[in-house]
């Protein structure tokens, strides 16, 4: 039985969930984020990217058996930002999260992310996603689009 729920929240509620996910994830903040940042700075930076985007996003909190474990920021089937808190990145929970992502956003789901986020890219590739676009920017961290 899938214990994952996505529940719509307001943009004002979002910082709590981003902080929950970034807090304690030193590996993400130093290796996979836009640049090395502390937790508060990374949360503020993520929020600024969301505010600067031209999309009308829908914001979701992610619950597992009623416990707050993450968030999703989406525009239709395009996932702009997402995370599951480090302590909940267990195989069973992540598999249920993935099932719910496909159910909730359908099989046309797309993720935007940076090329240095190897951890997430490998997770999605194992589930059948493919890189369908890559920025031509020659920087070390390029933007990617993964599509299912």
Residue 91 host element (H or E): helix 91-105
- Percent of the chain topping pLDDT 90: 82
Task: Calculate the alpha carbon distances from 126 to 57, 95, 105, 120, 122 in Å.
Answer: 27, 11, 18, 10, 6
Residues 3 and 64 sit within 8 Å (Cβ to Cβ): yes
Tokens encoding 142: 């390029």
Q: What is the pTM of this model?
A: 0.94
Q: Do β-strands 110-114 and 78-84 pair in parallel, antiparallel, or remain unpaired?
A: parallel
Inform me whether the pLDDT recorded for 137 exceeds 90.
no
Query: pLDDT, tens digit, for every residue of 6-60?
Result: 999 999 999 999 999 999 999 999 998 888 999 999 999 999 999 999 899 999 9
Query: pLDDT, tens digit, for every residue of 56-78?
Result: 999 999 999 999 999 999 999 99
């Amino acid at each position: 039985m899938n214990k994952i729920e996505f529940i719509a929240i307001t943009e004002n509620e979002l910082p709590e969930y981003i902080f929950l996910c970034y807090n304690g994830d030193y590996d993400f903040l130093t290796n996979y984020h836009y640049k090395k940042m502390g937790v508060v700075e990374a949360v503020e930076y993520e929020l600024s990217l969301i505010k600067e985007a031209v999309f009308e996003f829908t914001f979701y909190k992610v619950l597992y058996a009623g416990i707050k474990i993450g968030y999703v920021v989406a525009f239709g089937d395009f996932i702009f930002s997402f995370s599951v808190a480090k302590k909940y990145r267990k195989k069973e929970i992540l598999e249920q999260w993935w099932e719910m992502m496909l159910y909730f956003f359908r099989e046309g789901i797309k993720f935007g992310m940076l090329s240095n986020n190897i951890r997430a890219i490998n997770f999605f590739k194992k589930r059948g996603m493919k890189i369908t676009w890559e920025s031509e920017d020659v920087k070390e961290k390029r933007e990617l689009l993964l599509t299912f």
